[in-house]
Amino acid sequence: MNQIDKVKFEHTPVMPKEVLELLSPKPGGVYMDATIGSGGHAKLILEKIGEKGRLIGMDQDSQALEAAKENLSFAENQVTFVKGNFRDLGKIFDNLKIEKVDGILLDLGVSSYQLTSPSRGFSSSEKEENLNARLDMRMDQESPFSAFDVVNNYPEAKLREIFFRYGEEPFSTKIAQQIVKERTIKPIETTNDLLSIIRTATPPKYRFSQPKGQYASNVFRAIRMEVNQELQALEEMVPQAINRLNSGSRLVVITFHSLEDRIVKHAFREATQPANFREQPTVKLLTKKPLFPTNEETSSNPRSQSAKIRAIEKL
């Protein structure tokens, strides 16, 4: 294998040892990385499946796919790259004329590049280069719907709901009220516009107790999850993934939010314990409880701190 060139779009693979143990990729197998990012996990899978194996690498972010193509160029004849959302997994398999695969990996983490690139508008950082970023937060840059639309068009009750539910924001009501008030004067267009509103709506003691800019991270995360319909996509994806696994094949999911983990936990439980007693389970649990990163990993990669892994095997 050739040395892989580093590109600007990077995402350190989370819990790589645990992922490989649970996914258990076999030589010559066909696998899907449904959120390939820059290819960190995909590279490890390719090393296990060998030259006769095949990998389908999917992502809705065009920049991520370009980075993955560069980083995985050593195996370009083995990888099929697909731009798409994992909620459309069944259609994507049909388009590729693939009935079933030997394993699927889903990593719901957001890459460092996405979080720190001012042009993407994901970050609540107060760094000068970030403040004038337009409110965007789209994983798929071709989508017409962005953070600007959420902040400027959603009714107050809906804003309050997503801030509280997705962001677990203690001042969701006041922030939603302030947003509606400010946008009647002028559109809320930039990171700085939104940060100013959040500062106005939250007490100084709360803001100063957080690292710089982190007082707004709950709201930014909630808006990102709403823009990209992350929870809805996950709910739609898991049953499709189970249906597309060969017998003995595995689905491994890495989550970073309690609501994501809850969706995966319940979907796996339904597949292992059908509501109708006449139906047989379609999968078995490989993780009765989620796996967490080691202290060593969280020290070297702080973004892995909230990661959880769950996995199942198709019967």
Q: Is 109 annotated as a binding residue?
A: no
Residue 133 lies in a domain: no
DSSP string, 133-186: -BS---SSTT-S--HHHHHHHS-HHHHHHHHHHTT--TTHHHHHHHHHHHHTTS
Distance of CA 222 to the CA centre of its chain: 13
Q: Which residue has the tokens 């989508």?
A: 143
Residue 270 lies in a domain: yes
Of the residues 227, 262, 284, the one at which a domain ends: 227
Direct distance between the N- and C-terminal alpha carbons of the chain, in angstroms, rounded to an integer = 35
Distance CA 130, CA 198 (A): 16
Band of the pLDDT at 137, cuts 50, 70, 90?
A: very high
Please indicate, yes or no, whether residues 264 and 234 belong to a single structural domain of this protein.
yes
Of the residues 179, 198, 227, the one at which a domain ends: 227
The pLDDT tens digits of the residues spanning 6-40 come to 445 566 899 999 999 999 999 999 999 999 999 99
Distance of CA 301 to the CA centre of its chain: 17
Distance CA 252, CA 234 (A): 13
**Count, residues in the chain:** 315
Distance CA 187, CA 51 (A): 53
Query: What value does the mean pLDDT take over residues 164-168?
Result: 96
Please indicate, yes or no, whether residues 223 and 234 belong to a single structural domain of this protein.
no
Distance CA 301, CA 293 (A): 10
Please indicate, yes or no, whether residues 145 and 279 belong to a single structural domain of this protein.
no
| DSSP tag of 58 | E
pLDDT of residue 296: 96
pLDDT of residue 91: 97
Please indicate, yes or no, whether residues 183 and 164 belong to a single structural domain of this protein.
yes
Report which residue type is found at 307: A
Neighbours of 105 (CB within 10 A): 27
Maximum pairwise Cα distance, the chain: 61
The pLDDT tens digits of the residues spanning 173-205 come to 999 999 999 999 999 999 999 999 999 999 999
Q: Is 5 annotated as a binding residue?
A: no
Phi and psi at residue 49, to the nearest 5°: -85, -10
Q: Is 256 annotated as a binding residue?
A: no
Residue 117 lies in a domain: no
Residue 303 lies in a domain: yes
CATH number at residue 171: 1.10.150.170
Phi and psi at residue 171, to the nearest 5°: -110, 35
Please indicate, yes or no, whether residues 58 and 99 belong to a single structural domain of this protein.
yes
Closest CA to 284 of 241, 233, 258, 248: 248
Overall domain count for the chain: 2
Of the residues 195, 227, 259, the one at which a domain ends: 227
Q: Which residue has the tokens 């892995």?
A: 304
Question: 223: domain range?
Answer: 141-227
Q: What SS3 class is residue 249?
A: strand
Please indicate, yes or no, whether residues 212 and 234 belong to a single structural domain of this protein.
no
Please indicate, yes or no, whether residues 60 and 97 belong to a single structural domain of this protein.
yes
Please indicate, yes or no, whether residues 40 and 102 belong to a single structural domain of this protein.
yes
Q: Is the separation of the CB atoms in 253 and 310 below 8 Å?
A: yes
**DSSP run (H or E) holding 33:** strand 30-33
Residue 134 lies in a domain: no
CATH number at residue 103: 3.40.50.150
Please indicate, yes or no, whether residues 26 and 106 belong to a single structural domain of this protein.
yes
Please indicate, yes or no, whether residues 182 and 240 belong to a single structural domain of this protein.
no
Residue 79 lies in a domain: yes
Residue 126 lies in a domain: no
Which of 39-43, 46-50, 115-119, 120-124 is predicted with the least confidence, judged by mean pLDDT? 115-119
The pLDDT tens digits of the residues spanning 48-105 come to 999 999 999 999 999 999 999 999 999 999 999 999 999 999 999 999 999 999 999 9
CB-based contacts of 267, cutoff 8 Å, min separation 6: 235, 238, 239
Please indicate, yes or no, whether residues 21 and 93 belong to a single structural domain of this protein.
yes
Please indicate, yes or no, whether residues 217 and 237 belong to a single structural domain of this protein.
no
Q: Is 102 annotated as a binding residue?
A: no
Residue 185 lies in a domain: yes
